[in-house]
Structures are given as C-alpha cells and as structure tokens.
Amino acid sequence: MPSKPSKSLESFPNPSPRRDYLIRMQIPEFTCLCPKTGQPDFATLFLDYVPDRKCVELKSLKLYIWSYRNEGAFHEAVTNRICDDLVKLLAPRFLRLAARFYVRGGIFTSVVAEHRKKGWKPAPGLELEPIDERQSTR
C-alpha cells in the first residue's frame, strides 16, 4: 500500500540516553503553498537535535514533512510549527530547525527556530555550529 502524508510523528527510545550526541538531518524536498498566491514554496530543512529519551522515527518524519505540500503557510509560521511539534514529541536536550526557502520574488528567506532544555549545556566536544556555517547540497 502506498504511503500517504500524515501529521502523526512517531518516536523510538534513545539507544544511548546517557550520552550527548548530535543527530543531523538535511531534508531537501520540503514544499508548502504561499498563503497569498497559492504558488508552491520550496525549502531545504536542516534539523539538528540532541536527543534526551526519544528519537524521531524517520518514515513518520518524512510523511509529516510531506503533509505540508498542499497547505498554505508563511515561512516563519511553518518553521516554528514544525519545531514545536518535534519538541513536543521528543522533549530533546537541544533542537534547531533551519528552513532555507528558495528564491521567491528575488528574495531568499531563511528561518531558524531553536529549543534548549532548561539548564542543559552541551557536553565538552559537542559542537553546535550555527546553521550558516553548514553547506547546503543545492
């Protein structure tokens, strides 16, 4: 049976909850619709997180991201909504979501939303480099 878009995110237990480690994802096929024109907006999402007790299950993340394809959303709103949904599911030690939208009307837009668990500090050697220092594949 073919997969369908879904707002249902799933998680699984962190296999190494005692260790701070960074999970880094690049999601190059995000699309939503401009709420003003109805035209498609395309973005690459960069997701970095340090899990606490849970990790996001990748197929559910793929279907969740796909669920925005036919929704109208401002860049700022959709980036923060995805960040909030992931934080609600995972309660991570750290999570950063950066959305780099492709040019629209001569303007590139990037939106970065971040969460840190209260009182958490990265373990020595764990680099949480800013998104701007990372390379995009586009």
Beta bridge partners of 26: 46
| Pick from 9-18, 86-95, 119-128: least confident | 119-128
CA 71 from chain centre, in angstroms, equals 17
Give the whole-angstrom CA distance, residue 18 versus residue 62.
27
For residue 95, count other CB atoms closer than 10 A to its CB. 23
pLDDT-derived band of residue 129, with 50, 70 and 90 as boundaries?
confident
Q: Summarize pLDDT for 26-66 with one digit per residue, the tens.
A: 999 999 999 999 999 999 999 999 999 999 999 999 999 99
CA angle 47, 10, 12 (to 5 degrees): 90
72: left (phi over 0), alpha (psi -120 to 50) or beta: beta
Instruction: Kindly list the domain boundaries of the chain, sorted by start residue.
Output: 19-117
29: left (phi over 0), alpha (psi -120 to 50) or beta: alpha
Burial (CB < 10 A; 0-12, 13-18, 19+), residue 82, is buried
- Report the pLDDT value the prediction gives residue 7, as an integer from 0 to 100: 95
- Among 92, 11, 17, residue whose Cα is nearest residue 58: 11
Q: Which residues are catalytic?
A: 34, 41
Mean pLDDT, the chain, whole residue set: 92
Instruction: Give the end-to-end CA distance of the chain in Å, rounded to a whole number.
Output: 32
Q: Is 138's pLDDT higher than 60?
A: no
> What is the CATH code for 19-117?
3.30.1130.10
Residue type, 27: I
- Report the pLDDT value the prediction gives residue 1, as an integer from 0 to 100: 61
